[in-house]
Amino acid sequence: MVSREGRRNRAAIRAKRPVDFLSASHAHRFTIEAEVEVHHSDRALEFILLGRFLELQLRRFSGQHVMAPAHNRWSGAAHELIDFGDASCETMAEFLATTIQGTFGQQ
């Protein structure tokens, strides 16, 4: 499972009330849970590598639009926000599902 903060806007829905506020850039926490079948208990796929793969695919989907690090006021840590532009969450999910299936579907 990967949980990632990002921003997006839905410019395409600017005229659709009562959700026209979504056309402005707004924050999201995207949580991706992927299941990959393995056929033995000797870790055919390391979980940490799957997490890194998902992170890379999120960046690829966004076109590498990584925003400046934002400061976390509770932990003091800085983290990057990925800017997903006006892509819908459903489009992102379809991209990830296709990519995961294409990469790990035959294992």
Residue 98 clears pLDDT 90, i.e. is over it = yes
Number of residues that this document lists for the chain? 107
What pTM was estimated for this model as a whole? Answer: 0.70
Per-residue pLDDT at 97: 92
Per-residue pLDDT at 16: 60
Indicate the helix (H) or strand (E) that contains 3.
strand 2-8
Per-residue pLDDT at 50: 86
Question: What are the residues whose beta carbons fall under 8 Å from the beta carbon of 62, sequence distance 6 or more?
Answer: 6, 82, 83, 84, 85, 87
Per-residue pLDDT at 13: 60
- State which of 2-6, 8-12, 82-86 shows the largest mean pLDDT: 82-86
Contacts 24+ apart (CB under 8 A), 48-56: 50/104, 51/1, 51/2, 53/103, 54/2, 54/96, 54/100, 55/2, 55/4
Per-residue pLDDT at 96: 92
Paired tokens of 94: 């379809």
- Sign of the dihedral through C-alpha 69, 14, 12, 90: positive
pLDDT digits (tens, 9 = 90+) for 8-62: 776 666 556 666 667 777 777 888 888 887 777 777 778 888 888 888 888 888 8
